Structure 1
Amino acid sequence: MNEHPSAGRFDGREHRLAVRVYYEDTDFTGVVYHAAYVRYFERGRSDCLRLAGVHHGELAADERPTAFAVTRLEVDFLKASHIDDALEVRTLYERVRGARLFVSQSIWRGETLIATAEVVAACIDLAGRARKPSKALLDAVAPLLAEAP
């Protein structure tokens, strides 16, 4: 796995990314606005792939350009978090089925579970059509998966 200091770390298959809550992430009461969690989850998925050697820019510049589109996002908000909280986004790529990647994520504040998400992301071409992941992409994510592709 590649090293990028700001991209988090792996703990076994699980990727862990530190995230700080900033003023811009909160509503007028100082509580994290629900859409900010979606951004945190996105950062977790992206940095997990980055550490595995998958870079979005390279995918887009490939001879078969590929991107990702979230097709399903189910979030459970369990506890509130607030400005200045230190959070950790945990990401597990579970399996690949056809063009779809299945991902389980959670956000923690210390030992407190804040939110969970089940995500399905599809590999797409630049016209938005689903496509199976390339062999290089599958090879990069294979060590992260609970089920072999």
Structure 2
Amino acid sequence: MPTEDQDAPSSGRYEGREHVLPVRIYYEDTDFTGVVYHANYLRYFERGRSDALRAAGVSHTDLLSGDRPTAFTVVRMEIDFRRPARIDDALQVRTLYDRIRGPRMFIQQRLLRGREVICEAQVEAACIDLSGRPARPSPRLLERLAPILSGTV
């Protein structure tokens, strides 16, 4: 009989500091030509960032229920669309949490089909408190992210 963990959806895996999340393109992701609608790339990148945190031991639920409840918000994103993704493609969202400076996190993301780059994003996210104000990440969060960061300030 499968255990609960075996039934859970995959959060991907780490290859060194880079998180890899497999993504399949379904009909619902595409326009009438079978090409992925541009806004869906944002969804894939969001899943990549969330699952990278989850795989590093950071739970959004725990962040919200801690002594100093915090969350993340994207404050800037630069996207370069290189090639179209199409229905039935098997892709990888590759996420690299690069560094933290104060409340800001700098993240690099790529969407790949094999070795072919489909889309790239440079993301700046901020840690915020529940009133929406910038908040420094908790020591526990920094500890969990330390192995995957190139540096913190």
TM-score (norm 2): 0.93
Where 1:108 maps in the other structure, the secondary structure is strand
Write the letter of the residue equivalent to 2:99: R
2:113 aligns with 109
Q: Give distance in 2, aligned partners of 1:26 and 1:128.
A: 33
Say if 2:130 is the partner of 1:126.
Answer: yes
2:17 to 13, 19, 26: 13
1:76 is matched with 80
- Structure 1 counterpart of 2:39, one-letter code: A
Matched, 1:27 2:31: yes
Deviation at 1:5, TM superposition (A): 6.0
Would you identify which runs of 4 or more consecutive aligned residues in structure 1 move more than 3 Å? none
User: Which of 127, 135, 140 is matched with 1:136 structurally?
Assistant: 140
Cα RMSD, aligned residues only:
1.1
Query: Identity over aligned residues, as a percent?
Result: 60
Select which of 135, 138, 146 maps to 2:150: 146
Residue 48 of structure 2 is aligned with which of 27, 41, 44? 44
What whole-Å deviation, never above 9, does each CA across 1:106-146 have from its counterpart, x for those lacking one?
A: 00001111000000000001111110000000001111111
Please give the alpha-carbon distance, in whole angstroms, between the structure 2 residues aligned to 1:70 and 1:8.
22
Q: How does 1:85-100 map to 2 (within 5 A)?
A: 85-100=89-104
Q: Which residues of structure 1 form unaligned runs of 5+?
A: none
Distance between the aligned counterparts of 1:68 and 1:148, measured in 2? 17
Q: Distance in 2 between matches of 1:71 and 1:48?
A: 19
TM-score (norm 1): 0.95
> In the alignment, is the contact (CA less than 8 A) between 2:72 and 2:125 conserved in 1?
yes
Deviations 1:86-109 (A, max 9, x none): 000000010000000000000000
Larger Rg: 2
Tell me the distance in 2 between the aligned counterparts of 1:100 and 1:141: 13
* Letter matched to residue 72 of structure 1: R
